[in-house]
């Protein structure tokens, strides 16, 4: 027996009314699909970000040097109406547990970290949206200042206390303030580099690509290649004595180039590249910051990148 189509449900109505009804059905299904797939995509990105964070966690250290999940969730909240935030939180919970429990993280510590991660994203997104419009977040000085103050500084600052308490209370041991310090700057750096990239390219990525001419595309390629090469040469080689002040600022002209020519999105993408490559090399004993302990070397690198990127 043939299965009736959706249009058959309104076959008895006049033709104009039937077209309107079918259009409403299609629009309703489209909205449902978007509501369903949006949180799934965010959960998958959250899971991938967690895996990257664990890959950038030094041995015998519970706190990652660069933690992307919080910034991914913050960007998703900024792109989503408030009434649908609960869907994102509900979707990332299984992704959070699936990424952490198989690696031996206890359920108590994992849930504590989940509260810290989601609390940071909710606090940052709530304050940012209350004080500035989404559309002008990275297009005005006010928007950038609001993002830096609440998204990059205050939200990670407050929630780092909870994460550090979770680590110490679950028997990991070590210095509370060392955990707090490491967590704070790893999250600040991720917020500074990831959130603008995701928000800008998710909200206006296709129009930007369509409006880009070949000259600007060639310039972007040259900038990207330059950022990678300079970062690898600066942070990927053996440290030279008395050369740290010269080496660490080598990427700065390229970051200024990215800022002037490509705005906050270009800067954040360039700074993200510098951050990932430099942190990876620092964890493997390469680059200019290799004279002290691993936490001290990574902290010096995080502080440098935050100080360069925020202004």
Output the tens digit of pLDDT for each of the chain's 311 residues: 444 444 444 445 455 554 544 455 445 434 544 566 778 888 999 999 989 888 888 776 667 788 899 999 999 999 888 888 888 899 999 999 998 888 888 888 888 889 988 999 999 999 999 888 777 788 888 888 899 999 899 999 988 888 778 877 777 666 777 778 778 888 888 888 889 888 888 877 655 556 667 787 888 889 889 989 988 888 776 655 545 556 777 888 888 888 888 887 788 888 888 888 888 887 777 777 666 666 677 777 777 777 777 77
Distance CA 145, CA 137 (A): 9
What is the pLDDT, as a whole number, of residue 48? 92
Closest CA to 35 of 80, 65, 5: 80
Exposure of 228 by Cβ count < 10 A (0-12 exposed, 13-18 middle, 19+ buried)?
middle
Model pLDDT, residue 57: 81
For 194, the token pair is: 């990831």
CB 128 within 8 A of CB 101: no
Give pLDDT, residue 295: 67
Per-residue pLDDT, 285: 73
The whole-number pLDDT of residue 26 equals: 43
CA 105 to chain centroid: 22
Contact 101, 152 (CB under 8 A): no
Give the integer Cα–Cα distance in Å for 78 and 74. 6
CB atoms within 10 A of CB 211: 9
First to last CA, the chain: 68
pLDDT at 154: 92
Q: What is the pLDDT of residue 18?
A: 45
In whole angstroms, give the CA distance from residue 221 to residue 206.
Answer: 18
**pLDDT at residue 206, rounded to an integer:** 56
């Amino acid at each position: 027996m043939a299965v009736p189509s959706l249009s058959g449900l309104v076959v008895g109505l006049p033709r104009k009314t039937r077209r309107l009804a079918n259009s409403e059905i299609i629009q309703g299904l489209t909205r449902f699909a978007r509501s369903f797939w949006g949180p799934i995509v965010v959960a998958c990105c959250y899971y991938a970000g967690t895996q990257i964070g664990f890959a950038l966690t030094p041995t015998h250290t519970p706190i990652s040097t660069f933690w992307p999940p919080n910034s991914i969730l913050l960007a998703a909240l900024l792109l989503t109406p408030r009434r649908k935030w609960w869907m994102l939180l509900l979707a990332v919970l299984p992704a959070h547990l699936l990424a952490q429990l198989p690696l031996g993280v206890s359920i108590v510590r994992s849930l504590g970290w989940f509260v810290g991660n989601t609390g940071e994203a909710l606090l940052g997104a709530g304050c940012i949206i209350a004080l500035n419009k989404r559309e002008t977040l990275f297009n005005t000085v006010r928007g950038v200042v609001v993002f830096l103050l609440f998204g990059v500084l205050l939200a990670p600052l407050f929630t780092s206390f909870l994460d550090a308490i979770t680590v110490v209370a679950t028997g990991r041991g070590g210095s509370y303030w060392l955990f707090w310090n490491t967590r704070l700057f790893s999250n600040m750096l991720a917020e500074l580099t990831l959130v603008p990239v995701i928000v800008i390219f998710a909200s206006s990525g296709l129009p930007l690509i369509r409006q880009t001419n070949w000259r600007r595309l060639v310039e972007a390629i040259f900038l990207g290649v330059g950022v990678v090469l300079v970062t690898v040469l600066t942070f990927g080689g053996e440290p030279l004595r008395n050369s740290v002040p010269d080496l660490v600022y080598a990427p700065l002209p390229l970051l200024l180039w990215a800022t002037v020519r490509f705005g906050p999105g270009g800067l954040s993408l360039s700074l993200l590249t510098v951050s990932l490559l430099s942190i990876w090399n620092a964890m493997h004993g390469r680059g200019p910051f290799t004279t002290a302990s691993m936490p001290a070397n990574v902290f010096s690198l995080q502080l440098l990148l935050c100080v360069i990127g925020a202004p």
